[in-house]
Amino acid sequence: MANPYNNQPAPQWPPTPPSATRPAPRWARKRYVLPALALALFVGVGIGAGDQDKTTNDAKPAAAKAQPTVTVTATATATATATPEPEPAATVTATKTVKVTRTVTAQAEVDTDSGSDPGSASVYYANCSEARAAGAAPIHRGEPGYASHLDRDDDGVACDS
């Protein structure tokens, strides 16, 4: 069936192989001959490079003659005299007694709440040292000055140890 858009014949399906229509070109023979020659070359080289020790080691080797050898040995001996270590010096300890002349008592910070009555105040201790210095330790939950950062084991008693 002809193609209506140009004057070329429509392609046939399935296409016919080129070998059925005309003989193979000369370069196509090289496609088979050259790899076969290369394979034969590598097989020949492999056979020629086989175990050469079997062909050359058929004769027994001659026994080696014993040759005298000269050996020089040098020995060095070093001696050292041990010196006794000196005994350590006696340790002197000085003790100084100090008399306390002034005692300082830490005061807790008092925060007044603006929203409550003027008579009530909340106490805040930054750490247990301040609470002990103020004489408030141990502080129980609900008492003024109790805070969770002072209660390490969370048992409701702050600065207990």
Give residue-wise pLDDT tens across range 19-31: 556 666 666 666 7
Express as a percent the part of the chain with pLDDT over 90: 5
Q: What is the DSSP letter of 49?
A: T
* Residue at 130 is within a domain: yes
* Residue at 67 is within a domain: no
- pTM, 2 dp: 0.28
* Residue at 52 is within a domain: no
* Residue at 102 is within a domain: no
ω into residue 18 within 30 of 0, thus cis? Answer: no
Instruction: Show the domain range for 135.
Output: 109-158
* Residue at 134 is within a domain: yes
Over residues 63-78, the mean pLDDT reads 80
* Residue at 115 is within a domain: yes
User: 71-95 burial, b for 16+ CB within 10 Å, e for fewer?
Assistant: eeeeeeeeeeeeeeeeeeeeeeeee
Over residues 33-48, the mean pLDDT reads 86
Over residues 71-78, the mean pLDDT reads 82
Task: Select from 150, 115, 16, 130 the least CA-distant residue to 140.
Answer: 150
- Kind and range of the H or E element at 132? helix 128-133
* Residue at 22 is within a domain: no
* Residue at 32 is within a domain: no
Overall domain count for the chain: 1
